[in-house]
Amino acid sequence: MKYLMCNLKSNKTLKEILIYKKKLESINHSNKEFILFPSSIYLGLFYDTNYKIGSQIISEHESGSYTGEILANQLASLRVSYVLINHCEIRETLNSCLLKIKNATKNQIKVVYCIGKETNGYEIEKLKGQIKSIFDQLIRTEMENIIIAYEPCWAINKEDVINASALKNIIKKLKQYINCEYDIKVDFVYGGSINIENFDKLVKIDNLDGYLLGNCANKPENILKIAVKF
């Protein structure tokens, strides 16, 4: 399975998001899993789409009266299929991430777990440690519903920082590590300053399972151009 994930972050007014949604109707996603992560207030607008919807946030609470929180069962009722956890723009503790993962998977929502915080380059041991700190405290069914998003903070909002060879090597080693330590196979996507120009490098990395677009996804025409390349 190949994934094309688009994180709209806090962008778009209501009028803009409706226009955006209309333009995405022509996207070809027959051979890939296309997932849109709009601002949470717009999730209900995408209830009728033929592609998958993801939430940028989820509560660590399973139930109860928590003003401002969005619970996993509420997201599931909106047909949300994926959720971002540990994104570099959101401050979360390890315990908070664990609770969110458990709540999501319990409600049949797949987790896109981001790694790459507090790294200065392709630091394989630090990345293994970020995976280990989470996976050691999960049961198998929870791990099987996680996709890892390698999103190094140092690569965000840069023009062209992708070293395709290094990226391929690090994905290979992390997949081997997870398979060896936990006896499961986990898909990996990459996020960090992806644009139309450097995507041609990424699409050649055969062990990469997909892509997490950020600012590039704000223009639907960019998504349409990238979608036809893989």
With bands split at pLDDT 50, 70 and 90, how would you rate the model's confidence at 159?
low
> Over 70: is that where the pLDDT of 187 sits?
yes
Residue 152 sits in a domain whose CATH number is: 3.20.20.70
Name 9's Cβ contacts closer than 8 Å, sequence gap at least 6. 39, 56, 89, 214, 215
Name the packing angle between helices 124-135 and 94-106 (round to 10°): 60
What digits encode the pLDDT tens for the residues 64-84? Answer: 999 999 999 999 999 999 999
Token reading at 230: 């893989």
Residues of 147-159 as b/e, b for ≥16 C-beta within 10 angstroms?
bbbbbbeebbeee
- What is the percent of the chain with per-residue pLDDT over 90, rounded to a whole number? 83
In terms of residue numbers, what domain contains 214? Answer: 3-227
> At which residue do the structure tokens 């717009």 appear?
42
Which pLDDT score, from 0 to 100, does residue 158 have?
66
Mean model confidence pLDDT for the chain: 94
Among positive and negative, which fits the CA dihedral 66, 100, 214, 20? negative
Distance in angstroms (rounded) separating the CA atoms of residues 144 and 102: 12
Token reading at 184: 């499961």
With bands split at pLDDT 50, 70 and 90, how would you rate the model's confidence at 161?
low
**Strand pairing partners for 154?**
none
The least confident of 9-23, 111-125, 206-220 is 111-125
- If you average pLDDT over residues 92-110, what whole number do you get? 97
With bands split at pLDDT 50, 70 and 90, how would you rate the model's confidence at 143?
very high
What digits encode the pLDDT tens for the residues 122-135? Answer: 789 999 999 999 99
Q: Are 24 and 41 in contact (CB under 8 A)?
A: no
> Over 80: is that where the pLDDT of 160 sits?
no
User: Which pTM value belongs to this model?
Assistant: 0.95
Domain count, the chain: 1
Which pLDDT score, from 0 to 100, does residue 60 have?
97
Q: Are 131 and 174 in contact (CB under 8 A)?
A: yes
Phi first, then psi, for residue 117 (nearest 5°) are: -65, 145
* Strand ranges, E, within 16-67: 33-37, 52-55
